[in-house]
A and B are shown apart, each in its own frame.
Chain A
Amino acid sequence: QVQLQESGPGLVKPSETLSLTCTVSGGSVRSGGFYWSWIRQPPGKGLEWVGYIYHTGSTSYNPSLKSRVALSTDISKNQFSLTLSSVTAADTAVYYCARVSATVVYGMDVWGQGTTVTVSS
């Protein structure tokens, strides 16, 4: 059974770069048919898709974040990562990693538990 686990600092200063990693267990980021995605949820608000990466390195990002976000994979560690630059308080959120599966017609069938990131000096 595939499991995802987010990790990274819980506190980031304004204007700095947020970096998070999602470790995949029970499966491989190299597997075809799966896209590896990040979603975030500001306190008391709804879900916002951040971006996805495919094992080939192909990416797609939310246009509202595109100028500041980058996703990458580390095949050797079976991980994928998110970096978000020039953060502000508006980037404070719970960040989830998730697997997008072609088997469920590009729904997100596996989610990490989420990690809270606060942007504050």
Chain B
Amino acid sequence: SSLLTQPPSVSVAPGQTARITCGTGDIGIKAVHWYRQNPGQAPVLVLYDATDRPSGIPERFSGSISGDTATLTISRVEAGDAADFYCQLWDSSRDQFVFGTGTTVTVL
């Protein structure tokens, strides 16, 4: 199955803004979701439908879409934001769920 393209890593200083992109290619823009995964733990949904936050997720996490690229933005980055982040969508034409390649966020 096809994968969504993410940068392998993003480094950011505390207090700055981190942006993680997700290229959806020929799948087209569907509802894109984002997950955070801390080492040794299960993923946690941090954004759904590109821009909506589940309860309990800080407003510092926001999202957008431009063309075939979805972006997760983490504002005012904190040390605790260091984690792996994955985008995901449902390819309705193939009835498949697809994950991005994953991005490791490092807080300097």
Asked if A64 contacts B48 (CB within 8 A), the reply is no
Does B42 sit at the interface, judged by CB under 8 A?
Answer: yes
Q: How distant is the Cα of A75 from the Cα of B8 in the complex, in angstroms?
A: 41
Contact with B along A89-115 (1 / 0, CB 8 A): 000000010001000111111011110
Contact with B along A46-57 (1 / 0, CB 8 A): 111100100000
Question: Which of B42, B45, B54, B98 contacts A112, CB < 8 Å?
Answer: B42
Binding site secondary structure of chain B: strand
Contact with A along B1-24 (1 / 0, CB 8 A): 100000000000000000000000
Q: Which residues of A contact B33 (CB under 8 A)?
A: 104-108
Q: How distant is the Cα of A44 from the Cα of B100 in the complex, in angstroms?
A: 15
Asked if A62 contacts B101 (CB within 8 A), the reply is no
Query: How many B residues are at the interface, by size bracket?
Result: 20 to 34
**Smallest CB–CB gap between B83 and chain A, Å?**
13
Q: Which residues of A contact B1 (CB under 8 A)?
A: 49, 62-64
Q: Which of B58-108 contact A (CB under 8 A)?
A: 86, 88, 90, 95-102
Asked if A60 contacts B95 (CB within 8 A), the reply is yes
Asked if B96 contacts A46 (CB within 8 A), the reply is no
Question: Which of A63, A64, A107, A113 contacts B88, CB < 8 Å?
Answer: A107
Residue of A nearest to B47 (CB): A107
Asked if B45 contacts A109 (CB within 8 A), the reply is yes
Q: Which residues of A contact B52 (CB under 8 A)?
A: 104
Asked if A108 contacts B98 (CB within 8 A), the reply is no
Q: Which of B44, B48, B101 is the most central at the interface, judged by chain A CB atoms within 10 Å of its CB?
A: B48
Q: Which residues of A contact B100 (CB under 8 A)?
A: 46
New A-B pairs, 8, CB < 8 Å, besides A63-B96, A100-B90, A106-B97: A47-B86, A52-B97, A60-B95, A62-B1, A104-B49, A104-B52, A106-B33, A111-B44
